[in-house]
Amino acid sequence: MLIINSILEMKALVKDIRQKGKTVGFVPTMGYLHEGHLTLMREAKKKTEFVVTSIFVNPLQFGVGEDYEEYPRDITRDSCMAREVGVDAVFAPTIREMYPNGYATFVEVEKLTDKLCGKSRPGHFRGVTTVVAKLFNIVQPDIAFFGQKDAQQAAVLQQMAADLNMNLAIEVVPTVREVDGLAMSSRNTYLSREERKAALVLSESLKAAGKLFASGERSPGVLKDKITGMINREPLARIDYVEVCTLPGLEETERLEGQNLIALAVFIGSIRLIDNLIVEG
Amino acid sequence: MLIINSILEMKALVKDIRQKGKTVGFVPTMGYLHEGHLTLMREAKKKTEFVVTSIFVNPLQFGVGEDYEEYPRDITRDSCMAREVGVDAVFAPTIREMYPNGYATFVEVEKLTDKLCGKSRPGHFRGVTTVVAKLFNIVQPDIAFFGQKDAQQAAVLQQMAADLNMNLAIEVVPTVREVDGLAMSSRNTYLSREERKAALVLSESLKAAGKLFASGERSPGVLKDKITGMINREPLARIDYVEVCTLPGLEETERLEGQNLIALAVFIGSIRLIDNLIVEG
């Protein structure tokens, strides 16, 4: 497996691979890999012939007071894990390489980014779309893989790729969970033992809402109340948002028809976690 | 010569051309072609093996009260002229094809776009960078060609391409002028006979400033005063801006060293024209 730090080298490698007629799969990450990332990489291995993963903690998508500095980093561990699932190249650029002095260009998706996490984290998605647009130009994949856990991110990136006529497909892969249901996240490593237990309220309240939906409930308000009630009973949890909306438009809805997203962000202690459930009916 | 209206068809054509190992040159235009555009196309013919030109009057780069509706259009005339200089394909998409319902993604270059034309035309460069990013993804050129007449546009697009790691080169081609010195522009067709004469003050004041520079003058203020004085003596002319700045940074400067740009925008009657001169010393 190759480890590449330079943009020019990455471009040269991909050019060579494409000239050999191979398809390229791409899994962008911020590192500190977990089973969720590895599932994306395995999916990429299945569907493409050369798999690149990037490891880059993107300062542009962190707000003031967020955890950019503390975000866990371990490139040795990450490279080892990527190699084991058959990744062909890890792209790990420096910040200076990605954002040289005088850097001034930003990609912005409107509307979709005003809601859910976009409301609580202003500028976050602008950072995501900008870095992903750059990475797409560097790696030039046929298919890029993203996790359903970041449902809004996936919707925003699909809108960006379609609007800017990018030459790739975006695949969204179901959320991978711990045995007890907690959605995998690099931020789970921040949780104390007590918080780890409390964090279960995210997946469990979603599961309860899913059961209500399965039993015929179609009112977004009733589902939201169910979730809010459960989370409010957990002393370590504080709701950032609980939303029920259409997918991929992320619009409010009066009654659940077609594909909808139940999404939530909850602080467990000081750690902000997200999870979601797609319901279809 | 092919005339293509659909994005998918354009992408399929370019894919085919690239698979044949040919290089692609690209000249984006808003149509109503003149010798300036044709010079870009001839340059593209020299440097690449398959030349695409796009004709698209981009609503996103026109401000409220600007001349989007009146902008001259004549696709039959344009196609004929493009064919004559050996263009291989004209890409002429509809507005709905480029900006479908729900369109929401924008590319923005900061700093460079606050100055010169960016100051007088807020949102203009955001429209330019967005449409050009889209066109680059559709046409996937090896080299894209732009005119020096739009000096700030060229600087902004070079910054965008570098910042977003786009896989192409941008070439800037010297301004083409009428025999008497007026810079070629589709907007020249708006000028009455009297205004056409008055419009000469743009190129002539730049020429006078260039002479001062050649004779050793290095004060931006002195050059600006020379130009401003000449334009103010022309009754049909009204200055939008006259600026002397560094290139490509477009920063103000106390003393002319290295490469600098003398740029101006002047209303002749109600028609806004631009021109510029690069000085190097």
Total CB pairs under 8 A between chain A and B: 75
* Closest A-chain CA to B98: A163
> In Å, what is the CA distance from B105 to each residue of A164, A174, B193?
7, 26, 42
B242-270 tens-digit pLDDT: 999 999 999 999 999 999 999 999 999 99
Are A34 and A184 spatial neighbours (Cβ–Cβ below 8 Å)? yes
B107 contacts on A by Cβ (under 8 Å): 105-108, 164
B109-139 tens-digit pLDDT: 999 999 999 999 999 999 999 999 999 999 9
Q: Do A165 and B134 touch (CB under 8 A)?
A: yes
Residue spans of the domains in chain A: they are 2-173, 186-275
- pLDDT in the model for residue A33: 97
Q: What is the CATH number of domain A2-173?
A: 3.40.50.620
Q: Which of B140, B164, B249 sits opposite A133 (nearest CB)?
A: B164
SS3 A271: strand
A166 contacts on B by Cβ (under 8 Å): 137
Contacts for B135 with CB less than 8 Å, ≥ 6 apart: B26, B28, B54, B56, B91
Which of the following CATH numbers is that of domain B186-275: 3.30.1300.10, 3.40.190.10, 3.20.20.70, 3.30.930.10?
3.30.1300.10
Confidence category of residue B281, pLDDT binned at 50, 70, 90: confident
A170-187 tens-digit pLDDT: 999 999 999 999 999 999
Q: Do A105 and B129 touch (CB under 8 A)?
A: yes
Mean pLDDT of chain B: 97
Nearest to A89 by CA among A42, A132, A139, A134: A139
Look up the pTM and report it.
Answer: 0.97
The two beta strands, A50-55 and A24-29, are parallel
- pLDDT in the model for residue A281: 82
Q: Which of B7, B104, B137 sits opposite A112 (nearest CB)?
A: B104
> How close does chain B come to A51, measured CA to CA in Å?
20
Q: Judged by CB atoms within 8 Å, which residues 201-230 of A form the interface with B?
A: none
Q: Do B110 and A106 touch (CB under 8 A)?
A: yes
A134 contacts on B by Cβ (under 8 Å): 163-165
* Closest B-chain CA to A139: B165
- pLDDT in the model for residue B88: 98
> Given a cut of 90, is residue A148 above it in pLDDT?
yes
B2-173 and B186-275 have identical folds: no
- pLDDT in the model for residue A199: 98
* Closest B-chain CA to A134: B164
A83-122 tens-digit pLDDT: 999 999 999 999 999 999 999 999 999 999 999 999 999 9
Which strands form B271-280's sheet, in the order they lie side by side?
A: B237-246, B259-268, B271-280
Tell me whether residue B37 is one of the annotated catalytic residues.
Answer: yes
The answer to whether ipTM exceeds 0.90 is yes
**CB under 8 A, 24+ apart: contacts of A181-185:** A181/A207, A183/A36, A183/A149, A183/A273, A183/A274, A183/A275, A184/A34, A184/A35, A184/A36, A184/A149, A185/A34, A185/A36, A185/A149, A185/A273, A185/A274
Measure the CA–CA gap between B261 and B253, rounded to whole angstroms. Answer: 10
Q: Do B104 and A107 touch (CB under 8 A)?
A: no
Q: B143 has which bridge partners? A: B25, B169
A163 contacts on B by Cβ (under 8 Å): 103-105, 134
Q: Do B106 and A104 touch (CB under 8 A)?
A: no
